[in-house]
């Protein structure tokens, strides 16, 4: 009975399409149903749906990839509504038979969720059950998750009914006291590689390097380049002091091209000893220079980039616990306000709305974090309770009166399945309501606010939330929002929001806000490990300067396993050689000036690129390559649509 119902739905859906009929006729479909209905069971339902999807893929009619994708979602939805638990089997099988993706991607994308591997088929089925395949949801999914459709036009919606009108005084930032600052540490993207193995392949052909399962499939044993490297000390660690481990004969295995050294490699995530070295360098700098940090912000990503099949629930939780423990060990009483990154969840990248039936999938993480942050003294009981329950965001007021709002960016992450239903609605997660309520309350009492999140809005975000965020930021800047901080890209970057009356031209008059995007501790991929701290005006919480520190990772390859040397790379006020009043903060206008120079001169573009990657050996040459061509677009776009439009205009000029 159920089976017949499913198939009626399938047929009805297919008939409803303006695609013409498919290669297989209704009678064929019904024939399948009749055959199967003799012996109705899960196998026959799975088979019928797989056959249906395969037929769609193999249709001799000219159905575009986009229409195929959307139709698949419709077929999937009809199954998800009745037998959601069969969706993963059906889609995995279809994907494998048609070789729509590589086998491992078919499995990680569509196979049912397990605790051992980061597979998302169950989340896919949840999404199907709620989405509108033939509307914006389907187009958006088929664009961002399957690259089968072009980008649909971003809905023209607004959140402006949620706030009072902006008054004239809200268009001007309070003036810094300029003679009294305090220090804030900014950490990001540790990506601890738990199975980092000294001597393993550091130049691997696929997947994650420096692990027991990495290999260089192109390497020719006899043409193995002899490296002058000697830093192969296994089980090295650093608690109070550095303890060098035992020496590994790394060149013994001739099939390894570049053996992984003690402190990390440019194609690998961070071994714990590198993380501890970075934290140690912070503690050391702080005590040597008598510089105290009032608090620290951490903008996410503790779990590494290993294959999804090897990313387990246990490893996710262990990575989160270890990284926060290592931070706590070195920072002592300095409170850390944190956000979770796209890697800091299991399965990877997912996050469900609180009130649509899937809450229990992800509450483990919010509860773990709330407990840990409270135990470490980073959050009080009230904030911790809030973070435990409302995991898309929480706020905390620092002892000096600044409000820090922490947002979970998986809400707008393009890989999160739960972002693909009701996607024309601006706020299915309730995150904007939370953010706006906090901002309205702060504005009323003239309190300044910092917003911290992992993923910046111009890349890897979905277009609508990006547009909504820009609207909120334009409304509450520069009076209330003092600064915005992201991580995620692993690059030292910034982004400017332009919003003028009637136009968003990239002029100095239209500058309203900017964000800081932090460099990473993980070297992955091709960067030197790095961290920064800000000097912040005590009265306005505007940033007066940023000091960026790094270690030249390549110098640890041949130093016989000695500790990395961390040093000041540059400061944001002096590093760009721009004339800027000493008493003025490094605000959006400052960054507009820098961005304009990046646009005008190759020298400035190169300077920016060097800083972005911390002078690693892999920094491209901007003068003779196209690698730096889109930098200006990145720096001057705050939303996905702005970035895409900018890139299109650069490309059309070529």
Q: What angle do CA 337, 338, 340 make, to 5 degrees?
A: 165
Q: Does residue number 210 form part of the binding site for ligand NAG (CB under 6 A)? A: no
Contact 488, 455 (CB under 8 A): yes
Q: Which is nearer to ligand NAG, 179 or 399 (CB)?
A: 179
Please report, as residue ranges, which positions from 108 to 127 form the binding site for ligand NAG (by CB under 6 A): none
Local structure of residue 20 (DSSP, 8 states): -
DSSP code for 361: G
Footprint (CB under 6 A) of ligand NAG, residues 425-484: 425, 478
In the complex, minimum distance from the CB of residue 19 to ligand NAG, in angstroms, rounded to a whole number: 12
Identify which of residues 465 and 478 has a Cβ nearer to ligand NAG in the complex: 478
When binding is defined by CB under 6 A, the residue of 103, 246, 287, 355 that contacts ligand NAG is 103
Which lies closer to ligand NAG via its Cβ, residue 48 or residue 482? 482
From candidates 588, 613, 633, 640, binder to ligand NAG by CB under 6 A: 588
Q: Which is nearer to ligand NAG, 26 or 180 (CB)?
A: 180
Q: Does 21 bind ligand NAG (CB under 6 A)?
A: no
| Helix orientation angle between 121-130 and 103-110, rounded to the nearest 10 degrees | 60
CA–CA gap between residue 252 and residue 250 (Å, rounded):
6
Under the criterion CB under 6 A, does residue 397 sit at the interface with ligand NAG? no
Q: Which residue from 83, 552, 573, 614 is in contact with ligand NAG, where contact means CB under 6 A?
A: 552
**How does DSSP assign 96-116, residue by residue?**
HHHTSS-HHHHHHHHSPP-SS
CA–CA separation, 425 vs 427, rounded Å?
A: 6
Q: How far is the CB of 384 from ligand NAG (least distance, A)?
A: 25
Of 96 and 385, CB closest to ligand NAG: 96
Pick the stretch among 7-15, 219-227, 404-412, 456-464 that binds ligand NAG (CB under 6 A): 219-227
Contacts of 372 (CB under 8 A, 6+ apart): 320, 321, 324
556: nearest Cα among 266, 239, 240, 243:
266
405 is a contact residue toward ligand NAG (CB under 6 A): no
Q: 624 or 652: whose CB is closer to ligand NAG?
A: 624
Site for ligand NAG in 153-182 (CB under 6 A): 156, 173, 177-180
Q: Among the residues of 83-219, which ranges form H helices?
A: 87-98, 103-110, 121-130, 136-144
Sole residue written with tokens 């650069």: 650
Stretch of 294-302, 551-559, 567-575, 594-602 lying at the interface with ligand NAG (CB under 6 A)? 551-559
Q: Which residue is nearest to ligand NAG (CB)?
A: 218
456/478 with CB nearer ligand NAG: 478
- Pairing state of beta strands 511-517 and 181-187? unpaired
Among 125, 142, 143, 219, binds ligand NAG (CB under 6 A): 219
Contacts of residue 456, defined as CB under 8 A and 6 or more positions apart, other chains included, come to 486, 488, 489, 493, 495, 515, 517
Please tell me the distance from the alpha carbon of residue 304 to that of residue 213, in angstroms, as a whole number: 15
Choices 12-20, 394-402, 429-437, 587-595; region in contact with ligand NAG by CB under 6 A = 587-595
Distance, CA of 357 to CA of 334 (rounded, Å) = 38
Of 354 and 367, nearer to ligand NAG (C-beta) is: 354
**Shortest spacing between CB 382 and ligand NAG, in angstroms:** 29
Stretch that binds ligand NAG, among 23-31, 283-291, 464-472, 613-621 (CB under 6 A): 613-621
What are the backbone dihedrals phi and psi of residue 58, each rounded to the nearest 5 degrees, phi first?
Answer: -95, 5
584 interacts with ligand NAG by CB under 6 A = yes
Scanning 101-109, 277-285, 343-351, 411-419 for contacts with ligand NAG by CB under 6 A, the matching segment is 101-109
Find, among 401, 405, 416, 475, the residue nearest to 438 by Cα: 405
Print the binding letters for residues 340-369 with ligand NAG: x by CB under 6 A, - otherwise: ------------------------------
Residues in the chain: 654
The residue within the footprint of ligand NAG, chosen from 147, 220, 255, 284 (CB under 6 A), is 220
Sign, Cα dihedral of 16, 19, 25, 30: negative
Which one of 555, 629, 644, 645 is in contact with ligand NAG (CB under 6 A)? 555
Our finding on whether 381 is near ligand NAG (CB under 6 A) is: no
Task: Give the Cα separation of 147 and 481 in Å (integer).
Answer: 35
SS3 505: coil
What is the rounded radius of gyration, in angstroms, for the C-alpha atoms of the chain?
26
**Beta strand residue intervals within 293-342, DSSP E:** 293-298, 336-338
Q: Please choose, out of 27-35, 215-223, 450-458, 628-636, the segment that lies near ligand NAG by the rule CB under 6 A.
A: 215-223
CA 110 to chain centre: 21
Q: Check if the beta carbon of residue 159 is closer than 8 Å to that of residue 439.
A: no
Q: How far is the CB of 637 from ligand NAG (least distance, A)?
A: 17
Residue 277 corresponds to which tokens in the numbers above?
């070295």
Q: Which of 89, 82, 71, 113 is nearest to 4 (CA)?
A: 82
Residue 527 interacting with ligand NAG (CB under 6 A): no
* In the block, residue with structure tokens 């700098």: 285
Kindly tell me which of 82 and 178 has the beta carbon lying closer to ligand NAG: 178
Shortest reach from residue 27's CB to ligand NAG, in Å: 25
Q: Please select the residue that binds ligand NAG; options are 617, 627, 648, 649, rule is CB under 6 A.
A: 617
Q: Which residues lie across from 187 on neighbouring strands?
A: 298
Residue number, 53 or 111, with CB nearest to ligand NAG:
111
Cβ at position 292, least distance to ligand NAG in Å: 17
Q: What is the DSSP letter of 154?
A: P
Pick 27 or 625: Cβ nearer ligand NAG: 625
Count of residues binding ligand NAG (CB under 6 A)?
Answer: 44
Q: Which residues bind ligand NAG (CB under 6 A)?
A: 62, 64, 103-104, 107, 130, 156, 173, 177-180, 203, 205, 216, 218-220, 222-223, 237, 239, 257-258, 272, 309, 422, 425, 478, 511-512, 552, 554-555, 577, 584, 587-589, 615, 617, 621, 624-625
């Amino acid at each position: 009975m159920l089976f017949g119902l499913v198939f009626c739905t399938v047929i009805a859906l297919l008939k409803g399409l303006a695609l013409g009929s498919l290669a297989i006729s209704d009678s064929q479909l019904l024939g399948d149903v009749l055959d199967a209905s003799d012996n109705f069971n899960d196998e026959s339902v799975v088979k019928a749906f797989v056959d249906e999807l395969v037929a769609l893929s193999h249709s001799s009619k000219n159905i575009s990839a986009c229409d195929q994708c959307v139709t698949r979602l419709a077929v999937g939805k009809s199954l998800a509504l009745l037998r959601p638990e069969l969706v993963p089997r059906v889609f995995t099988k279809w994907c494998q038979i048609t070789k729509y993706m590589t086998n491992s991607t078919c499995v990680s994308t569509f196979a049912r969720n397990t605790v051992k591997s980061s597979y998302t088929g169950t989340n896919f089925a949840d999404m199907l059950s709620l989405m509108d395949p033939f509307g914006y949801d389907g187009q958006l999914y088929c664009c961002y998750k399957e690259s089968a459709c072009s980008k649909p036009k971003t809905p023209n919606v607004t959140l402006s009914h949620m706030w009072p009108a902006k008054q004239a005084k809200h268009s001007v930032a309070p003036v810094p006291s300029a003679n009294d600052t305090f220090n804030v540490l900014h950490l990001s993207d540790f990506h601890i590689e738990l199975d980092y193995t000294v001597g393993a392949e550091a130049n691997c052909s696929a997947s994650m390097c420096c692990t027991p399962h990495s290999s260089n499939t192109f390497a020719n044993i006899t043409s193995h380049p002899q490296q002058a490297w000697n830093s192969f000390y296994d089980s090295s660690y650093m608690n109070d002091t550095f303890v060098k481990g035992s020496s590994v004969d790394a060149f013994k295995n001739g099939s390894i091209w570049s053996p992984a050294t003690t402190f990390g490699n440019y194609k690998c995530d961070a071994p714990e000893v590198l993380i501890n070295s970075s934290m140690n360098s912070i503690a050391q700098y702080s005590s040597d220079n008598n510089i105290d940090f009032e608090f620290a912000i951490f903008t996410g990503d503790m779990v590494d980039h290993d294959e999804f099949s090897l990313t387990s629930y246990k490893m996710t939780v262990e990575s989160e616990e270890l990284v926060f423990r290592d931070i706590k060990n070195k920072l002592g009483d300095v409170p850390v306000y944190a956000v979770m990154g796209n890697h800091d969840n299991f399965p990877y990248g997912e996050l469900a709305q609180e009130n649509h039936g899937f809450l229990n999938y992800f509450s483990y993480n919010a509860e773990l974090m709330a407990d840990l942050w409270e135990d470490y003294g980073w959050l009080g009981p009230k904030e911790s309770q809030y973070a435990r329950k409302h995991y898309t965001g929480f706020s905390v007021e620092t002892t000096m009166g600044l409000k820090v709002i922490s947002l979970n960016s998986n809400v707008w992450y393009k890989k999160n399945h739960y972002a693909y239903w009701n996607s024309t609605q601006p706020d299915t997660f309730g995150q904007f309501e939370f953010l706006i309520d906090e901002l309205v309350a702060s504005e009323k009492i003239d309190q300044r606010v910092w917003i911290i999140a992992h993923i910046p809005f111009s890349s890897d975000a979905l277009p609508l939330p990006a547009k909504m965020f820009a609207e909120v930021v334009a409304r509450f800047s520069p009076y209330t929002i003092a600064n915005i901080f992201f991580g995620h890209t692993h690059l030292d970057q910034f982004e400017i929001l332009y919003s003028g009356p009637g136009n968003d031209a990239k002029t100095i008059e239209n500058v309203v806000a900017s964000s800081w995007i932090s460099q990473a501790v993980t070297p992955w991929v091709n960067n030197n490990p790095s961290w920064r701290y800000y000097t912040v005006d005590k009265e306005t919480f505007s940033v007066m300067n940023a000091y960026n520190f790094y270690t030249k990772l390549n110098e640890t390859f041949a130093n016989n396993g000695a500790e990395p040397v961390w040093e000041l790379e540059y400061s944001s006020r002096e590093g760009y050689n721009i004339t800027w009043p000493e008493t003025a903060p490094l605000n959006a206008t400052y960054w507009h000036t820098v961005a304009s120079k990046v646009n005008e001169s190759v020298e400035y573009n190169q300077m920016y690129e060097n800083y972005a990657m911390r002078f690693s050996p892999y920094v491209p040459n901007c003068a003779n390559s196209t690698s730096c061509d889109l930098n200006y677009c990145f720096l001057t776009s705050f939303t996905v649509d702005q970035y895409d439009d900018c890139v299109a205009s650069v490309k059309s000029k070529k």
